[in-house]
Structure 1
Amino acid sequence: MSKFGSAFWGVLDQGLYSFNALVLAIAVGREASPTAFGAYGVAFTVFTLAITASRAMLVMPFMMEKSRVSNRSVDTAGVLGLTVAVSGLFGSTLFVAALFFNGSLRPALATMAISGAFVIFQDVLRYVTLSAYSMRRVCTIDSTWLSLNVLLQLALLLLDTRSVGMHIGAWGVSVLASFAVVPKRVWQIPSRTIVCRYFRQNFSHARNLVIEAVGTSGSQYVATLGLSIYMGLTFAGEVRAAQVLLGPLVVASQGLLMAALPSVLRANGTRKQVLTNSARFSVLLFCFAIFYFAVLVAFPDALGAALFGGTWTIAQNLLLPLAISQALGAFALGATLAFRAFDITAATMELRLWLFPLAPSLGLAGAILGSNLGAAIGLAAASLIASIGLWLRLLTTKVENV
């Protein structure tokens, strides 16, 4: 498949994948109060933090190992077995934690525990399918999920359930339909020996990648959770609503990253070539982010409210600083690609550990000085410093030709 074809199918699939979350957010936004929408925001932030860590722990080491090792079936069985354990641990831990909360948070977290576990497993299946087939097959998986999700969310809206938990549950149940279209070749039954061996072989990379992932976007999610406790569920709702409207930025960046990753990991270019391509990738995503935000600003309020319901109104307060934060995060993705091409994970781990306190501390400082908007400005400032730090670390890292 050509580079253009890979990019097209990558962006299309990420659009299908992200549209599932958009459908959920719109459905919740049409029925929930600001506080209930905030509970949904907290639950989805917890899930996003978990899937960020799971991709770093499970997907990235698998893709890196796959580019070097010929025994694909062992790799697949190992990563699927480990995914069952990780998703099960996430679900059971969050479900127990939900019992300690009252009000709208309890059902939101409890249903996210079950739904999120299913989605984490499906997410790994997508990448395993990509490694063995093509992005088109991944699109089939995600379009199946989206079809049933839309139907279930519409049914709940027509029934006027006004239950955040039921909407989250429908989002998770619908993902089960996508399992039916996963190619049979992908399904490998793991043994305990295979899973343990796979875990030992990939532990070092996985550990570094998890720390790196949590230290970047994960830091923002941890900050959001902490600020939601300090400032109330309204802040979580405003952040999540803004993230929904900024969803196409994530679609573009993650879709292009997913399409580019296999070829980057197999790259034979020099250090200069890798850095040049990574810089172009970053500039492209950053320019798209600025253009997309300009489109949002020019979008008529009446049309936005009609399309997104209450989500459109809730998002307006924090849209500008969070759009800047998203653009800066997209700009850093090019540096991340280069580190993957150089097969260097320890190089960024230490930097991420130093940068991790930035988002919580700057967000809290902004909250004290300027309430919700000040907190969002603090998160954007943290993204700026993290992006600059990552690129400086990359440019000063000496590596042999890849």
Structure 2
Amino acid sequence: MDDDTRPEQDHVLRDAVTLPLLIIPRDRRTTRVAATARRPTIPADALEIVDPPPVTEPDQAVNTSAPPASSSARTADPDGADRPSVEARARRGRGGSRVNALWTVFDQVVSSGTNAAINFVIARRVDPTEFGAFAIAYTIFAMVVGLSRAAATAPLGISYADVPLGAFRSAVRQAAGTALMLGAAVGVLLMLVGVGMGGTVGTNLAAMGVIMPALLVQDAWRYASFAQGRPLLAVANDLVWAAVLGAGLWLLATVAPGGVGGSATMVLVWGVAAAVAAQVGVLQHQAWPQPRRAWAWFTGHRETTGFMTAEFLSLQGAAQTSTLVIGAVGSTSLVGALRGLQTLLAPTTNLAVALMSFSIPEFSRRRHLPAQTVLRGAYLVSGLVVVSSTLWGLAFVVLPDDFGAALLGDTWAETHQLLLLAVIAQAGPCLAVGPAAVLYAFGRTRLTFWINLAFVPFLLACPLTGLLLGGARGVMIGNIIVYWATIPPWLYHLHRQVRLGARR
């Protein structure tokens, strides 16, 4: 569910930045962290009898103090079996964590390639007008899948990364059911709108509506695999999707070599491949989605799902509005150049998404590690993203113009002029990836929401002000100012949470 052309990934790094925030007064009645304080909603007919995650108070930082020396290396499992303690598992799992991180990044590559493939194939098989119709439907999918992650699967990595298998499967059933319900609701709406509109755009919207439930459920299984610390399951699932998609597109090309059926037909093939992968996910996790528990899942974790959903909507709204305003005040060529920058730098965004997917459950499982260990982990994640993104961007800066023109055509000239400024700008939000992952992992979604909400007005104002004062280069300078100005608050809140935990 992540590709080099996804609008929501174009702004993922924006989601990791913020502006200074006044400390919100503590209110234990309204700020209990549901992700850790509430009992997970277990269906009445569940086969497993499980215990909830531990209770965490609202302003309570993660207990990063080391356990007593006399603590046992094993702790009782609520399912009746012993399992290694957090500290023992952390010591034994360092090598495995590195391997899991690599598999998570690899899965992001596979997933991005699968979704990029449908964009490239359709772009080559249809005319620009029909590809534009597909792009509209795909943009809606990109927004909805981001919403699904916030509303359905986010609690898995935050609250269920280190619970017994019975509790995890029960949670996965409900999370996947929530994704299924969201996909069904949006799918029906898209089909109605598509049928009402007619034409190429309406056909593509209707086709996207048909496959939306399969897309969201497959994405839910992927994130369940990350939360469980088993990214190989996600890799296998995405490889199934890629294989079925390749076979379907080959069969379609064989049956209709002239492109009969158009983009909507290829969208349906893409969705069939996702549906097959979703069925594989059922086998992998030995769990069926439970859509009837969707509302209970969402409300039972509303501190996580509610704030992350609101955060996603506000940031995406600001990002899309900013692009529209720049296009209205500036020019469509400038919007094209900005889109070209997003396309070139998309692999670094994908890396940030992969490391975030890996880091949140890993930090959640290691919330009792010493404070300095947590801080080093956060800085390591940020450092990996900053270094890789900078090197990737600089490679395009020094490449010959002929190579860039082959990638972006006439858009390359203006894109190349802004590329160095874009590399500087993106390094800012990259620095915030590690701190953001820690705060998400520790259930501080209320805090991250307010941090990001404070960023929204500046996301709108700074690029527009830069456009009025300095044209295209002014837009990028405005981004540099706001992105880098937001780093200190992330670092402050990261250290504050760790410091409070050490005092306790």
TM-score of the superposed pair, with normalisation by structure 1: 0.81
SS at match of 1:159: coil
Q: Distance in 1 between matches of 2:413 and 2:203?
A: 27
1:188 aligns with 2:287: yes
Equivalence for 1:24: 118
Counterpart residue identity of residue 127, structure 1: Y
SS at match of 1:291: helix
Q: Say if 1:16 and 1:142, in contact at 8 Å, map to a contact too.
A: yes
Equivalence for 1:9: 103
Q: 1:102 to 1:299 in 2, by over 3 A?
A: farther
From 333, 338, 341, the equivalent of 2:433 is: 333
Q: 1:172 to 1:374 in 2, by over 3 A?
A: farther
Equivalence for 2:147: 53
From 244, 268, 277, the equivalent of 1:178 is: 277
Give the RMSD, CA atoms, in angstroms. 3.8
Equivalence for 1:212: 311
1:120 aligns with 2:216: yes
Q: Say if 1:264 and 1:341, in contact at 8 Å, map to a contact too.
A: yes
From 317, 323, 326, the equivalent of 2:414 is: 317
Moved more, 4-13 or 259-268: 259-268
Q: Distance in 2 between matches of 1:99 and 1:192?
A: 26
Equivalence for 1:281: 381
Moved more, 287-296 or 182-191: 182-191
Q: 1:76 to 1:347 in 2, by over 3 A?
A: same
Q: Say if 1:24 and 1:167, in contact at 8 Å, map to a contact too.
A: yes
Q: Say if 2:180 and 2:216, in contact at 8 Å, map to a contact too.
A: no
Q: Distance in 2 between matches of 1:257 and 1:393?
A: 18
Q: Say if 2:314 and 2:456, in contact at 8 Å, map to a contact too.
A: yes
Q: Say if 2:238 and 2:277, in contact at 8 Å, map to a contact too.
A: yes
Q: Say if 2:307 and 2:446, in contact at 8 Å, map to a contact too.
A: yes
Q: Say if 1:31 and 1:162, in contact at 8 Å, map to a contact too.
A: no
Deviation at 1:292, TM superposition (A): 0.3
Equivalence for 1:138: 234
Q: Distance in 2 between matches of 1:383 and 1:186?
A: 39
Q: Say if 2:194 and 2:203, in contact at 8 Å, map to a contact too.
A: yes
Q: Distance in 1 between matches of 2:473 and 2:124?
A: 24
Deviation at 1:332, TM superposition (A): 1.9
SS at match of 1:399: helix
Q: Distance in 1 between matches of 2:310 and 2:415?
A: 28
Q: 1:340 to 1:191 in 2, by over 3 A?
A: closer
Q: Which has the larger radius of gyration?
A: 2
Equivalence for 2:21: none
Equivalence for 2:442: 342
Q: 1:108 to 1:183 in 2, by over 3 A?
A: closer
Q: Distance in 2 between matches of 1:69 and 1:339?
A: 19
Deviation at 1:48, TM superposition (A): 2.6
SS at match of 1:400: helix
Q: How does 1:311-390 map to 2 (within 5 A)?
A: 311=408, 313-314=410-411, 317-318=414-415, 320=419, 323-366=423-466, 378=478, 381-390=481-490
Q: 1:49 to 1:374 in 2, by over 3 A?
A: farther
1:249 aligns with 2:348: yes
Q: Distance in 2 between matches of 1:20 and 1:384?
A: 33
Q: 1:94 to 1:183 in 2, by over 3 A?
A: closer
SS at match of 2:281: coil
Equivalence for 2:297: 198
Equivalence for 1:296: 396
Deviation at 1:185, TM superposition (A): 5.4
Q: 1:104 to 1:197 in 2, by over 3 A?
A: closer
Q: Distance in 2 between matches of 1:191 and 1:203?
A: 18
Q: Distance in 2 between matches of 1:382 and 1:290?
A: 18
Cα offsets for 1:283-320 (capped at 9, x unmatched): 221111110012223344555666x5xx5654663462
Deviation at 1:77, TM superposition (A): 1.9
Q: Say if 2:211 and 2:271, in contact at 8 Å, map to a contact too.
A: yes
Q: 1:161 to 1:129 in 2, by over 3 A?
A: same
Counterpart residue identity of residue 395, structure 2: V
- Which runs of 5 or more structure 2 residues have no equivalent in the other structure? 1-94
Equivalence for 1:73: 169
Q: Distance in 2 between matches of 1:89 and 1:66?
A: 26
Equivalence for 2:323: 224
Counterpart residue identity of residue 143, structure 1: L
Identity of matched residues, %: 21
Q: Distance in 2 between matches of 1:334 and 1:39?
A: 37
Q: Say if 2:161 and 2:228, in contact at 8 Å, map to a contact too.
A: no
Counterpart residue identity of residue 360, structure 1: L
Q: Say if 1:140 and 1:181, in contact at 8 Å, map to a contact too.
A: no
Deviation at 1:58, TM superposition (A): 1.6
Deviation at 1:16, TM superposition (A): 0.2
Q: How does 1:67-106 map to 2 (within 5 A)?
A: 67=161, 69-70=163-164, 71-96=167-192, 105-106=201-202
Counterpart residue identity of residue 454, structure 2: W
Q: Distance in 1 between matches of 2:386 and 2:353?
A: 13
Cα offsets for 1:163-221 (capped at 9, x unmatched): 45444444333322322432525253455764443233211211112233344566424
Q: Distance in 2 between matches of 1:118 and 1:237?
A: 31
1:400 aligns with 2:501: yes
Moved more, 282-291 or 35-44: 35-44
SS at match of 1:181: helix
Deviation at 1:105, TM superposition (A): 4.8
